[in-house]
Amino acid sequence: MEAVTEPQSRRLTLWLPVIAWALLMSWASTDALSASHTSRYIVPALHWLFPQASAETLDRLHFLIRKSAHFMEYFLFSFLLLRPIRGEQRGWRIRWAIAALAMAAAYSALDEFHQSFVPSRTASPWDSLLDTTGAATAQFLLWLWFRFRSRNSIESPEDAAPAGRD
């Protein structure tokens, strides 16, 4: 059996946060975090925050919170994907962003497919689109961050990877 080398070990370490987050997202797609289960906690908390709100308003807020969670979980997933995709290289490149976005979109589609088998969940292409929008937003903000950082950096030219160029 061949021993794991230092670069292989480093590569695996870069993927661990991505794997952990993907596992957490998969768990969130089970019955445990279905709308009927989360409403038991979120709606009473919203009622406490907004005692004058109608039941309809509280339900709408619960819905918005759940949809915001879709956006944010894939925003973070895409953000986490950039590091292992680029490896030891610096900066931001469009090909890395496209790879991260493609992986996030594929995982989202797989997640929605999984939800089609969970009785308390519904699979929705709109949720997958929302997930992918969160992932794309993360890459756009990373592009802005690296673009701003490279313009204001005192790094030597060989240390700074130009943002958006391949």
pLDDT digits (tens, 9 = 90+) for 90-133: 889 999 999 999 999 999 999 999 888 888 888 899 999 999 99
Residue 160 has pLDDT above 70, yes or no: no
Select the more confidently predicted residue: 45 or 141: 141
Two tokens, residue 107:
């995982």
Residue 154 has pLDDT above 70, yes or no: no
Q: At what angle do helices 35-49 and 55-86 cross, to 10 degrees?
A: 120
Start-end of H helices in the chain: 6-28, 35-49, 55-86, 94-115, 125-151
| pLDDT computed for residue 68 by the predictor | 93
| pLDDT computed for residue 120 by the predictor | 82
pLDDT digits (tens, 9 = 90+) for 9-48: 788 899 999 999 999 999 988 877 677 767 788 888 888 9
| pLDDT computed for residue 150 by the predictor | 82
pTM of the predicted model as reported, rounded to 2 decimal places? 0.81
Residue 109 burial by Cβ neighbours in a 10 Å radius (0-12, 13-18, 19+): middle
Residue 157 has pLDDT above 70, yes or no: no
Q: How far apart are CA 64 and CA 153, in angstroms?
A: 39
Q: What are phi and psi of 92, to 5 degrees?
A: -135, 135
pLDDT digits (tens, 9 = 90+) for 53-64: 999 999 899 889
Q: How far apart are CA 92 and CA 83, in angstroms?
A: 10
* Band of residue 166 on the pLDDT scale cut at 50, 70, 90: low
65 contacts: CB under 8 Å, gap ≥ 6: 42
